[in-house]
Amino acid sequence: MHHVRTITDSECNPQAAEAAPRPSLRGTTAPPGTLTAVPQADQTSPESYPGPPRPARVEPVPLAELARLLDAEAPDTVVTGTGDTDVSATGITHDSRAVRPGDVYAALPGARLHGADFVEQARSLGAVAVLTDPGGTARAEATGLAVLTVPDPRGRMGELAATLYGKPGEDLLQIGITGTSGKTTTAYLVDGGLRKAAEQGVPGAARPSQGGGGRQAGGLTGLIGTVESRIGDERIKSERTTPEATDLQALFAVMRERGVTSVAMEVSSHALVLGRVDGCVFDIGVFNNLSPEHLDFHPDMEDYFQAKRQLFTPRRSRAAVVNFDDEYGFRLLTELGEEGFPVTTFSAEGHPDADWRAEDVVLGPFGSTFTAVGPEGQKVSAGVPLAGPFNVANALAALTALVAAGIDPHTAAEGISEVPGVPGRLQRVDAGQDYLAIVDYAHKPDAVESVLYAVRKVTDGAVHAVLGCGGDRDPHKRPAMGAALARLSDTAVLTSDNPRTEDPLAILATMLGGAAEVPAHERGTVLLEEDRAAAIRAAVARAGSGDTVLVLGKGHEQGQDIAGVVRPFDDTQVLGAAIHERAAECAAAPRAPSVPRSDPSPSADIHRTDDQNR
């Protein structure tokens, strides 16, 4: 059996202190940074209006023109408060609280309420017209505003927003990333390549379907995703993975106005189904992988796949980059090939039939290196500043997408390797301790297993992992997550994530049920601690030299939702505080005398089977 860790008589392990000290695991790269619960100056729009940023200059569009676009009945002439009869619009929003003078207010039907219930608020804030369905028409007309009625206002909202803001996406190189895992990381890595290309004055990509040409050299880059949106270096806190269509088109317009020429963007299945990317045609659509998630929104995996599949149509994208190694990716590339849709494939496993493949992969505790081999046999030295084989796949996906967009592969690889990190994705927390401490967003079974496998490969000692499951969604994955943590950790601390309206103990009971299904000889010590901060402290208290403490599930998130109240909570801050607290306790504790040890008895050791040390 493989000996992993010996329990000593002292919590602070004084015998180990007499051994040669291990170096700090502090990395040399700059920290990726995180968002905070309270917006900082670089996260707040200088505008006084609520909601996402809007462009400063918009050409008014007459309502009659909008009606023609929607094939809607032209609204009756409406006399505004200033006596004008020729009404034009300068913006659009689906949020009645964020209406600005000149807006079209999109009053959408909802599960419990209808947007038309708030149309009076929109009118009072300066809306000039309402886009709604027949169910909201009467209430909208009662305000005296012009009304554009269509059967599916959500399905037309993106197109309308793109028109109002002058179709800004047409002036941006757009790379959209979809899949279950790795969207955020891949988007950051793509952004790194785009930044390097802009820095070197490399022209933007030609439209893959048009050939030739190219956009203006240089320019800023944009990023839109789960953690944040960025306009150059300005950061904006994200409310969801993909913004609503009204906000997205406005954001594109702001990017164009401020000199952005390219954007990397996460595209969720919700965004595709709910029309949030209507009005977008991506130059490159990237498919990373597909595994069970959001099955509270999608009835089954086939529906989930078909939702993702929508990105890879002429309506949504001009070309595709697809993961050859993924089961659903292989299905997708086969279907696209039959349809004649342009596809470039990548294989982190090195499959020779992929257009781009990874060879000579070297995995390290803080990153990996590999050689990217292209379709003509060209070889590019590449690296990714994040541990784990799955991040080799993310980096190769980013490189392939950048090359498909017309960027030199060496430039792309250089930019990817210089990305300092991704908030909440294998993010290291270093307070000078002699063990590794990591925060990661993994919140589904496959992702939890992948992170644990990756961490085990670079951990000399034991792995102490903390994990919870979110409430009110995906309850089917809780037993599998509890089982994965118990099977692959030396210490599995089951705790709360965002319980939302559910009882945290009920969630934990389901996770514990999954952990109990793991045979006793294959699982580590399982602890239950409802309080997440206490759970993190419990994991840190068990850490010894060469171990790893892994806090999973929330990643970049800055709050914890308990019973409908969101309290500030940052895993990186709580983990760092626990490390400092433990160090202070050990420094203050009296030093126990060294006692020679005989051969350890089985009861004094923790052993792991080969299966547990995969």
Q: Please state which CATH number belongs to domain 168-350.
A: 3.40.1190.10
Please report which confidence band the pLDDT of residue 595 belongs to, taking 50, 70 and 90 as the band edges: very low
The residue ranges of DSSP E strands in 150-248, in sequence order, are 173-178, 220-224, 228-231, 234-237
* Distant-in-sequence, close-in-space partners of 131: CB < 8 Å, separation ≥ 6: 70, 92, 104, 105, 106, 107, 148, 150, 153, 156, 157, 160
* Tally of CB atoms within 10 A around 117: 14
Please report which confidence band the pLDDT of residue 591 belongs to, taking 50, 70 and 90 as the band edges: low
Tell me the per-residue pLDDT of 12-50, one tens digit each, with 9 for 90 and over: 444 434 444 433 333 333 333 333 232 333 333 445 677
For residues 358 and 48, the model is more confident at 358
Of the candidates 360, 433, 2, 417, the residue with the CA atom closest to the CA atom of residue 193: 417
pLDDT of 588 reads: 87
Tell me the per-residue pLDDT of 501-539, one tens digit each, with 9 for 90 and over: 999 999 999 999 999 999 999 999 999 999 999 999 999
For residues 16 and 364, the model is more confident at 364
Q: In a 10 Å sphere around its CB, with 0-12 CB exposed, 13-18 middle and 19+ buried, how is residue 83 labelled?
A: exposed
Task: Give me the residue label for tokens 């009053």.
Answer: 107
Domain ranges in the chain with CATH number 3.40.1190.10: 168-350
pLDDT of residue 74 exceeding 80? no
pLDDT of 35 reads: 31
What are the structure tokens assigned to 166, written together? Answer: 């002058």
Domain ranges in the chain with CATH number 3.40.1390.10: 61-164
pLDDT of 202 reads: 65
Which residues carry a binding-site annotation for ATP? 179-185
Rg (CA), the chain: 26
CA pair distance 431, 549, nearest whole angstrom: 13
- What letters, b where the CB count within 10 A reaches 16 and e where it falls short, cover 25-59? beeeeeebebbeeeeeeeeeeeeebebbbbbeebe
pLDDT of 589 reads: 81
Identify residue 54 by its one-letter amino acid code: R
Domain 5-34+425-613 CATH class label:
alpha beta
Please report which confidence band the pLDDT of residue 166 belongs to, taking 50, 70 and 90 as the band edges: very high
Tell me the per-residue pLDDT of 96-131, one tens digit each, with 9 for 90 and over: 999 999 999 999 999 899 999 999 999 999 999 999
pLDDT of residue 215 exceeding 90? no
Within 13 Å of residue 519, how many CA atoms lie on the same side as its CB? 6
pLDDT of 601 reads: 37
Domain ranges in the chain with CATH number 3.90.190.20: 5-34+425-613
List phi, psi (to 5°) of 249: -65, -35
pLDDT of residue 592 exceeding 80? no
CA pair distance 224, 40, nearest whole angstrom: 18
For residues 358 and 3, the model is more confident at 358
Which residues carry a binding-site annotation for meso-2,6-diaminopimelate? 473, 497-500, 553, 557
What are the structure tokens assigned to 553, written together? Answer: 């599930």
Please report which confidence band the pLDDT of residue 65 belongs to, taking 50, 70 and 90 as the band edges: very high
pLDDT of residue 422 exceeding 70? yes
pLDDT of 10 reads: 39
| CATH 3.40.1390.10 corresponds to the domain 61-164 | yes
Of 322-326, 381-385, 594-598, the range with the lowest mean pLDDT is: 594-598
Which residues carry a binding-site annotation? 96, 179-185, 241-242, 268, 276, 473, 497-500, 553, 557
Please report which confidence band the pLDDT of residue 432 belongs to, taking 50, 70 and 90 as the band edges: very high
pLDDT of 488 reads: 97
**Torsion on CA atoms 413, 419, 420, 421, rounded to nearest 10:** -110
Q: Please, what is the angle between helix 301-309 and helix 327-339, to 10°?
A: 50
pLDDT of 545 reads: 96
pLDDT of 239 reads: 80
In terms of average pLDDT, the best of 198-212, 438-452, 595-609 is: 438-452
Please report which confidence band the pLDDT of residue 52 belongs to, taking 50, 70 and 90 as the band edges: confident
pLDDT of 21 reads: 40
Please report which confidence band the pLDDT of residue 295 belongs to, taking 50, 70 and 90 as the band edges: confident
Start-to-end CA span in the chain (Å): 13
Please report which confidence band the pLDDT of residue 203 belongs to, taking 50, 70 and 90 as the band edges: low
pLDDT of 489 reads: 97
- Average pLDDT of the chain is 86
Return the percentage of the chain with pLDDT > 90, whole number: 74
Of 7-11, 132-136, 257-261, 546-550, the range with the lowest mean pLDDT is: 7-11
The pTM (predicted TM-score) of the whole model is 0.80
- What letters, b where the CB count within 10 A reaches 16 and e where it falls short, cover 540-567? bbbbbbbbbbbbbbbbbbbebbbeeeee
Tell me the per-residue pLDDT of 240-280, one tens digit each, with 9 for 90 and over: 788 999 999 999 999 999 999 999 999 999 999 999 999 99
